[in-house]
Chain A
Amino acid sequence: MSDPKVARHIAFDHREPSQDACYADIPGELSMNVQTALRARGMTRLYSHQAEAFQRAQSGENLVIATPTASGKSLCYNLPVLHALSVAPDTRALYLFPTKALSRDQEEHLRVDMREAGVTQGAITYDGDTPGDARRAARERAGVLVTNPDMVHAGILPNHAGWARFFANLKFVVVDEVHVYRGVLGSHLANVLRRLQRVAAFHGSHPQFLFSSATISNPSAHASRLLGSPVGAVCENGAPSAQRRILVYNPPLINAELGMRRSYISCAVDRAVDLLKANVSTLVFGQSRNNVEVMLKYLRDRLPESELAGEQIQAYRGGYLPETRRRIERGLREGEVRGVVATNALELGIDIGGLDAVICAGYPGTMAALWQRFGRGGRRGRGSLAMLVPSSSPLDQYLAQHPSMIIETPVEEARIDPDNIEILIDHLKCAAFELQFRSPGDTFGDLSSTSLQEALEFLETQRMVRAVSARSGGKTYHWSTEAHPASHVSLRSLSYDNFVIIDVFHERVIGEMDFRSSHTMLHEQAIYQHEGQQYQVEQLDYENHKAFVRKVEPDYYTSAQTRVRVSVLEEEASDILTFGAGITLPVGRGEVDVVEKVIGYKKIRFHTHENVGYGEVYLPAVEKATTAFWIVVPELVVSALPYSRVVVMDGLRGWLKALRAVAAVGLMMDPRDLGSAFVDEPGIGSNGEFSSPRSLVEVQEGRHSFHFEPTMYLFDAVAGGIGLAQRLWEDQSALVRRSAELIDTCPCQHGCPSCVGPGGQSNSDDSLGDRKSAALAMCKHLGVVG
C-alpha cells in the first residue's frame, strides 16, 4: 500500500483503534453445572453484554442481542438455554440458523458447550440431510433442535403432531443472524414465527424468543416486527476488538471528463494479487456470482502456479453443491486455501478461521453488509485490513466522495412487511393446514382480526378452506384441498422453482439457480460461469426448469438486457412538492403492475470489457404487482427549460438514477430491493434507462391517458412490496433535495456513471445540451438547488 501509484488512489485511510473489554461477574443464579463449565474453560467472568443478556432472559423478556461479529454472541443465547436444560431436563429449545452450513457449524460448538455443562439431552441438526433414525431421535429426545426456517416451514410445522412432545416442552426459540431476514425472507420468517407460536400454543407452550443480530440500527424494532410482539435489545458491547485498518481505494480516473474509471473488478484483483504475493490471506467479496467467477479467473491468471497453485484460490458462492462448499470451508480453516472470492454467501458466521485481509469489490449496498464483510477479517484478535474498492455506480462513487460515511453513518434498518399480501396468504394456507382457525377467537401473530377474517373468507371463496359453523358459535375454517401448501411455498424462492444446470458433456448437474436470476443468467447462448469455468447455455428447457450447458473457452462473457413496463393500478396517495422556485411537482404512491422481460444480451470481452456483440433472447415476461413512489414532471416545467424535449427527457432519466442512488444510501435501503422506471410518452412504450446502464426500459402508463406528463417511478422490486415505497413517500422532499445535491456536487462535466449516468456521451456532440446539464437545469428551475 506504500507504493505511491497505489497510495495516490487511497481515498480514505482509517485505523479503527482496538477496544478494551468490559467484564461482569458470572451471575450467581446461573446453574452450578454451567458455572463450573465456564470456569473450567478459564472464563472467570463474562463480557458485560453476556451477563446482561442472561439476566434479562431470566426475567422472561424476549431479547435481541445486537453486538459486532466475534463478540461472543452465541454465549448470550446459549447461557439461558443451558441453564434451563440443566435445571429442567425436559426443556426443549429450537435454534434457527439462516443456512444449513451455519447450523452444522453451530451444532458442533453447541455440543461442546452442552457436554461441558453436563447437559445430556443432546443437540441434533435437523435438515434435509438428516437420516431417518436421527430424525426420530430429534423428535423424541433432543434437548436442542438445530435447524433453519425452511425446515420449520416445510418439515416440522406441517407435521407438528409428530413433534407434540417437543412443542409441549418448547421453552426457547433462538434465531441467529436475524439481520439476514430482511425483505422477502424476513417477511416469510415473520409468518413462520406466527405459525410456530400458534402451533406451540396448541401444544400448550409459549416459548421465549432470543434473537441475535449483526449491527443494524433498529434491532429491537426489527425483531419485534419479526415476532409480532415486543423484543428488548442488548446492544452494549463488552467484548474487546483488535485494530482494523480501513481503506477505500477508488479506481483511477481514465477519462476525467467522462468520469470513466478503471474497472473496479480489475482494481480489486490487483490489490488482492499484491496481498496474496505478500503472503497475506485474503478474502475478496464480489457483488454477483458472475463477478465472483470473473475475479477468480483473473486471480488465477495473474498468479503464476509457482507462487500460488490454482487450488489455493477458490470461489465460494451459492449454487455450488454442498460438498464443494464444505471442501472450500475446510481448506480455509486449515490454511490450505489462501485466497477466496465469495459472494454474500460467506457473509454469515460460517467458521472459516481468520483471514488477514478483506477486499470488497463494490459497495455491497448496505452499511450493515459492508461491516459484516469487513468483520470476516482478523477473527483471531490480530489486526486486519479491510478495503473497499468502489465501482463507478452513483452509489459507490457517492461513498468514495464521502468516505467518512463508512464510519459515521448508522447502519441500515432491516425492513420487512409480514403482511405483504402474497406472503401472508401463502402462510395462512400453511397455517390452516396445520391447525384450523376459529373465528372469532384465533389470532395470527399481530395481524388484525379484521384482516384475518377477510383473508380467511378469501381462502374460502378459493375453496382452500371450508367454513364450518362451530357448535359453540362462530365458525371454524378447515384446510379443504388435498394440496400440501408448504411444499408450494419457498421462503427464498430457492427450491421448487429452481432451475437445474446440467453439463451436457458429463451429463451431470453442476448447480441450481433461482427462478428470477435464471432469466438473466441462463438464457440460451448465455455464458454461465461456474467455478472459474465458462459454460455456454445450449438449451433452456423453460417448462421443466432445466438449463443444458457445455464447457467453452470464450474470450467474452454475456450480460442480459431487460425491458421493464410499469402501469399504475391504483393511486393510494398524492401530494404536491414545492421547492424554492414555487413550482409544484406532483408526487404519488400506490400499486403498480411491473412487467420485466429479458430481450437480449451483450457480449463483453474479458479484461477490456468492450462490447463485442449482441443477441436476442426469447423468454416469457415476469409480471408482478408491487408498490411504487412516483414523481410527475409537469409539461410546463419541461418546456420552460432551454433544451430540446429529447435532452430534457434524457436529463430526467439521469435524475432518476441519482434518485435511486440517494434512496439507497441516504434512506438506507438495499438498492437491489428498489427498481426504477421512467416514462416519457403516453400510451406507447419508449426505451430508456433502467436501474443499470445495461438495461432498457419500456414504460407504459395508463393513469394519464388524457393528460400525460413524464413520470419517474421508484418501485419495490419484490412482488407486493415490503414497504419501501411508503418509506420513500415519507421522505420525499429529502430524497429529491439530496439527489439534486448529488448531481450538483459531482465533479464530472457532462454526466458520469457516478451521478446521472454516462448518457452525456451520446449527447456530447449535441451542442444543445447534455444529460447532466439538463438534469441540473431542471433541479435549478424547480429551486431544489441554488
Chain B
Amino acid sequence: MSLKRKLARLPRPSISTPVNQQVSSIKPQVEKREEGSVPPENFLLATDTSVVASLKKSRDGADRQQSTLSVRLEHYQQVYSARQRRRSSDLTSTATSVPIAAADASTPEWETTIEQQDAVRIMTHRLSLDYQQGVVPVCRALRQDTLSLSRLALSAEWAEVDLHRVVFLDTETTGLGGGTGIIPFLIGLAWFEDETLVVQQLLLEELGEEEDMMARVHERVAQATGIVSYNGKTYDWPLLRTRAVMTRRPPLPTRPHLDLLHCARRVYRKRLGHVRLVDIEEHVLQMRRHEDISGEEIPSVYWQYLEDRNETDLDKVIVHNVHDLISLVATLVVLTEHYTTLHPDDDPRDQLCRAKVGFRAQDWGRAEQFAQAVVEGQGSPEVIVEAAVLWARLCGRRRDYERAVSILHQATDKVAVASVFAAALHLEIAKIYEHRLKVMDLAWRHAQYTAAAEGLPAQEKRLSRLQRRCKRLAVPITSQLFGC
C-alpha cells in the first residue's frame, strides 16, 4: 500500500486542539470599580469606558496591517495616561510607604517606531522619563546602588555593573520547556538611553528566518554589561543559546546574568508564596494588568498569526511582553531600594527575608538592621522569633553574647514567655549560656522550655548534660526560671 493511503488511515492526532478555538476563548475582562470608593489597588488601565470603547472600536476596524499595532499602542497610551492622572490623585489618599514620583503634571507617553527588516519586525518603544509601572517610576533603576544589588543577587560581579548599560530580557516562545523545536518568536529587550527606557521587540515574521533576529540580539548583548531577566537563567537564556547554535551563529557573549525571580523569591517568599511576575505586580508594584493574555495561550496565538496574519491577538502578546519588561525594571527598583534602605512600614515577613538575604550575602550591618526592625515591629510571633534568633546570631558573630541574650529576652517577652513560639528563643538562650557564656544553671533553666523547638529526646539529653556540668562545677540548680 502506498504511504499516502497508510497516512490517510492514521488516527488523527489529539496533540493540539484547534488553534482558533483557543484564541476565541480569550475574553476581555473589564473590571468595574464603584465610583467614589478608594480602590484597593491601583489598576494599570483605568476603566474609563470611553477610552476602552474607542480602543475596541479601533481594533474591530478593517485595517489590520502594519498600522494596527501603532494604533493599538496609541490607544494604550491614551488609556494609560488616563490611568496616570487618576492614580496620582488616588495615591495621595492612601498612606503607602512606597515613594512616588511627583509626576502629576507631566503626561506620560511613549513613542513607538516600527521597522520591517525582511522577516523581523522591530518595534521600538521609548518610554517617557516619568513613566511609572504601578507605583514605581522605572527610571529610578538607574539610581540604584549596585553594591546592594549584588548582595540581593548573591553575586559579587553585580557590584561593578553599570546599570546604564544593562539589558533587560524577556521572550515569548512557541512552547514551554526547552528543545530545538521551541522558538522565541518575540524577543523583548530593554535598556536605558540616558534617562529613557527603550523597549525593543523583535518579532519573527516567519519560521526559519531567525538569523537577523539573532544577530541583533547578539549585538545588543555584546554592548551590555549585564543581563536582567525573570526566570531567564533557566529559560530564556538557554533558549537563545540554542537558537544561536541552530542558526549557525557564534555563541552569544557571556555577561553577568541577574535572574530577578531568584531575588524576588528570596525576599517575598514568606509573604506571597508564589512569586510569578504577576504576583509581584499585584502585591509589590501594586498594579493589575487589564485584558492580559495568559501564558499558555501565547503559542497558539502565534501559530494562528502565521496562518492568517491577523494582528488582533498578536497585539495582546506584544503588549504582554512590553509589560513583562517594564515590570522587570520596576521590580529591580523596588527590590533594590527596599534593601538599600530600611522602609519601616514594609511587611515584617519581607523584612525578615531581607535580613536573611543580608546574612547570606555577609552584609552583616543590613541583616542586623532588618532583623531589628522585625523584632521591634508588629509582626507575628513566628516572624519575630525567627528574626530574633537571626539577630542574636549576628551579635554572636561579633562575640556580643550579652546583647544576643538580651535580644532574645526582649523577643521572649513579646511573644509570651511560655508560649510555644518562645521555645526556639529559650533554646537559643540555653545554647549561648552553655557554650558561650558558660553559665550552666541559667542554661539549664532555659532548657526547661525547649521541648517544642527541639523535641523531647533532644531536650532530655540537653538537660541531663547540663545537670552533669552543673554538678561538676558545683552550681546549684534549684530554682526554675519563672519561679514555678
Contacts and interface: CB of A to CB of B under 8 A. Distances in A.
A159 B6 contact: no
Given A421-B7, A468-B207, A480-B303, A572 B181 contact: no
Contact of A455 (B3, B175, B303): B3
A479 interface: yes
B1 interface: yes
Contacts of A483: 15-16, 175
B306 A481 contact: no
A92 interface: no
Given A436-B208, A463-B303, A466-B207, A482 B3 contact: no
A484 B16 contact: no
A466 B308 CA distance: 13
B1 A455 contact: no
Contacts of B12: 462
A156 to B, nearest CB: 11
B33 interface: no
Contacts of A463: 16, 19, 303
B208 A470 contact: yes
B3 A421 contact: yes
Contacts of B181: 158, 432-434, 479, 484-485
A158 B179 contact: yes
Contact of A482 (B13, B176, B206, B241): B176
Contact of A591 (B9, B174, B175, B206): B9
Contacts of B245: 161, 164
A458 B238 CA distance: 32
Interface string B154-185: 00000000000000000000111111111000
Contacts of A468: 206-208
B4 interface: yes
B10 A421 contact: yes
Contacts of A476: 207-208
A464 B10 CA distance: 14
B242 interface: yes
A482 B296 CA distance: 10
Contacts of B176: 482
Interface string B10-22: 1011011001000
A425 B207 contact: no
A482 B300 contact: yes
B16 A478 contact: no
Contact of A481 (B6, B175, B242): B175
B180 A484 contact: no
A425 B13 CA distance: 11
A162 B179 CA distance: 9
Contact of A159 (B1, B16, B179, B208): B179
B137 interface: no
Contacts of A257: none
A570 interface: yes
A450 B181 CA distance: 24
Contacts of A484: 175, 177, 179, 181-182
Max chain A CB contacts within 10 Å: which of B1, B19, B176? B1
B134 to A, nearest CB: 30
* Majority secondary structure, A binding face: mixed
Interface in A564-591: 569-570, 572, 590-591
A466 B303 CA distance: 9
A621 interface: no
Interface in A410-461: 419, 421-422, 425, 432-436, 450-451, 454-455, 458
A436 B180 CA distance: 10
A466 B306 contact: yes
Contacts of A435: 180, 246
Nearest to A453: B3
Contacts of B299: 481-482
B180 A482 contact: no
A32 B9 CA distance: 59
Interface in B174-224: 174-182, 206-208
B6 A421 contact: yes
A478 B175 CA distance: 14
A159 B10 contact: no
Contact of B7 (A158, A455, A464): A455
Contact of B174 (A164, A482, A570): A482
A435 B183 CA distance: 12
Interface string B245-267: 11000000000000000000000
Nearest to B6: A421
Nearest to B251: A164
A483 B207 CA distance: 16
A485 B179 CA distance: 11
A484 B173 CA distance: 13
A454 B4 contact: yes
A480 B242 contact: no
A570 B1 CA distance: 9
B16 A481 contact: yes
Nearest to A465: B207
Contacts of B6: 421, 720
Contacts of A432: 181
Contact of B1 (A162, A462, A572): A572
Contact of B9 (A436, A466, A625): A625
Contacts of B208: 436, 468, 470, 476, 478
A499 to B, nearest CB: 20
Nearest to A470: B208
A483 B303 CA distance: 12
Given A164-B245, A436-B208, A470-B208, A159 B178 contact: yes
A162 B9 CA distance: 37
A688 B474 CA distance: 95
Contacts of A162: 238, 241-242
Contacts of A419: 3
Given A159-B180, A434-B181, A481 B9 contact: no
Given A455-B7, A464-B13, A482-B299, A433 B180 contact: yes
B306 A160 contact: no
A488 interface: yes
A720 B1 CA distance: 12
A482 to B, nearest CB: 3
A158 B306 CA distance: 23
A422 B180 contact: no
Interface in B420-466: none
A463 B18 CA distance: 9
B246 A480 contact: no
A85 to B, nearest CB: 25
Contacts of A158: 179-181
A161 B175 contact: no
A434 B4 CA distance: 24
Nearest to A448: B3
Given A468-B208, A591-B1, A454 B7 contact: yes
Nearest to A624: B11
A386 B207 CA distance: 61
Contacts of B3: 419, 421, 450-451, 454-455
Max chain A CB contacts within 10 Å: which of B179, B182, B245? B179
A159 B175 CA distance: 14
Contacts of A436: 207-208
Nearest to B246: A161
Max chain A CB contacts within 10 Å: which of B15, B206, B303? B15
B177 A160 contact: no
Given A476-B208, A482-B300, A485-B181, 7 more contacts: A161-B242, A161-B243, A162-B241, A458-B7, A462-B12, A481-B175, A483-B16
Q: Which 5 A-B pairs have the closest CB atoms?
A: A433-B181, A482-B175, A161-B245, A478-B207, A482-B299
